[in-house]
Amino acid sequence: MMNKETKINLIKKIDVTDMAGDKVMIDFESGKYFLLRGTAVDIWDNIQKETTVGELVKTLLGIYEVDEETCLSGTEQFLSQLEEANFISLT
């Protein structure tokens, strides 16, 4: 279960290209392409070094006008997707 103290670590480096504010990610191991937009781009940019869920949410709250509960929920959902794709580990 994820909480604000959960550490976020990148597992594998992925080829990422910026395209008009979006990010296109290519996982050469699986051959899959991923497109990140909006908040997902900011989350990806802010997990390039080890951080915690709480620190990430605090950063996002400084960027977006959203309440903390909504921000935390959306962040946890996206991080879970990244973990399922084996891009990050949550400890």
Output the domain CATH number for residue 58: 3.90.930.60
What is the extent of the structural domain holding 41? Answer: 7-90
The per-residue pLDDT for 1 is 82
pLDDT of residue 5 exceeding 90, the answer is yes
Q: 91 Cβ partners below 8 Å, 6+ apart?
A: 6, 7, 9
Per the domain annotation, does 20 fall within a domain? Answer: yes
pLDDT band of 88, cuts 50, 70, 90: very high
Per the domain annotation, does 53 fall within a domain? Answer: yes
Contact 24, 14 (CB under 8 A): no
The per-residue pLDDT for 76 is 98
The per-residue pLDDT for 53 is 99
Sheet holding 88-90, edge to edge: 51-52, 7-10, 88-90
The per-residue pLDDT for 14 is 84
pLDDT of residue 12 exceeding 80, the answer is no
DSSP 8-class letter at 48: S
Q: 52 to each of 18, 59, 71, how far by Cα in Å?
A: 25, 11, 14
Q: Mean pLDDT, the chain, as a whole number?
A: 95
